[in-house]
Amino acid sequence: MEATIRNAAAIYQRTSEAGVSGRDTECAAFSMVNRDLGSCTNGPSRVRALGRNHALWSLLLKDLALAENRLPQDLKTQLIGLAFWSMRYSTLAMSKPLPADPLIEVNQNVVEGLLAQTGPSAHRVVQPLDAALSI
């Protein structure tokens, strides 16, 4: 898991250097995870999709804890709560027949919030994120 987070951080840095904003990257990451969650059935593809969701929220949680994170404290608190819920639900769903729909809905709400702040440029898809979130 730690290697996945380091890999994601390196890719995030490269996309930032290439002129892709952090919000564009976040939108693309949540969209890709939702695509995987929506298309998985059971077995390995389900566990992989749930693991990617867990890894994404873990990375976001790590960023929210940084002193350099400039989000308002209220928003940070809400996102931290969502991160813990999403990671816990993802872990439970790996061993129980829980639907992925609640995770997809939360992730989609995050994407919509990001798009409301960034406008149409957030629709760009950043391809290297698939490697960053590989489990």
User: Residues 36, 48: contact at Cβ < 8 Å?
Assistant: yes
The rounded distance, in Å, linking the Cα atoms of 64 and 110 is: 14
Dump pLDDT digits (tens) for 25-67.
999 999 999 999 999 887 899 999 999 999 999 999 999 999 9
- Provide the token pair at 115: 């798009």
The rounded distance, in Å, linking the Cα atoms of 130 and 127 is: 6
Sole residue written with tokens 């490697």? 131
The rounded distance, in Å, linking the Cα atoms of 47 and 108 is: 20
Each domain of the chain, given as residue ranges in start order, spans: 2-132
The rounded distance, in Å, linking the Cα atoms of 23 and 26 is: 5
Axis-axis angle for helices 22-39, 2-17 (nearest 10): 130
Sole residue written with tokens 């940084």? 66
Specify the range with the lowest mean pLDDT, choosing from 10-19, 26-35, 112-121. 10-19
Q: In terms of C-beta density within 10 A (0-12 exposed, 13-18 middle, 19 or more buried), how is residue 99 classed?
A: exposed
Residue 115 CA, distance from chain mean position: 15
The confidence score (pLDDT) of residue 42 equals 75
Question: What percent of the chain is predicted at pLDDT more than 70?
Answer: 71
pLDDT bucket at 3, cuts 50 / 70 / 90: low
